[in-house]
Structure 1
């Protein structure tokens, strides 16, 4: 699921909606949550960004942290990798993230940020995620040839 969460720290509707959806999802369904979560937390942010890791910001991330734990979702984008460069200050931070269900997180081949592929007019970097997924080839369907002569 692609997620956009409002940057207002008091906004929790996104995690409430995600929780409702995930509760209705059968446990054997693989889940990937990715997008702009607009939350700072020591689990993923660079510790040198001390002003982004205040109690206020960490408390704003608590509903997301709780959601991840409740639904066995793991962060698959390695910690401390910035996903955002502020247009004015040129400061790096981590607003975007990728989480996957425990059942699929072990199949990750790559999950990384690619600043060199950043589109114009955005301050977020693309994140490329690759999974080792194999599909069985479907058996051929044999058609019976009828002769009506």
Structure 2
């Protein structure tokens, strides 16, 4: 979020994409470098119909007062919490709290780093909206992705 014209650049590049079909992931630490500028940029992007996810949530220095002002619609739960949530009551509590907070704020959640069906089920039971990780598939190049999913 170092570029004050980021919203305008994204809008110019995305002219051929219908609103709602584009989403950006912005890291929590990136958002907090210049919070007031971030508020303006995220609101502009949201008004343009561009989805915004706060990536690596819980690992940076975000302020809850800014979280409510950012126009993000998704919190991505960092894999460092997901990895041990079935073994560590502290990690489980952090994941559960992030999901509950997101739900209360009307936000979606994505858990990163899901590697087992047990993790996926635990996240589902906590109300996590989406999950991603090696349990569902390994990263692939663009051609393989297109052949498999498009």
* Interval of TM-score (by shorter of Structure 1 and Structure 2): 0.3 to 0.5
Alignment TM-score, normalising by the size of structure 2: 0.36
**TM-score normalised over the length of structure 1:** 0.36
Q: Which has the higher contact order (CA 8 A, sep 6+)?
A: 1
Larger Rg: 1
**Structure having the larger proportion of residues in strand:** 1
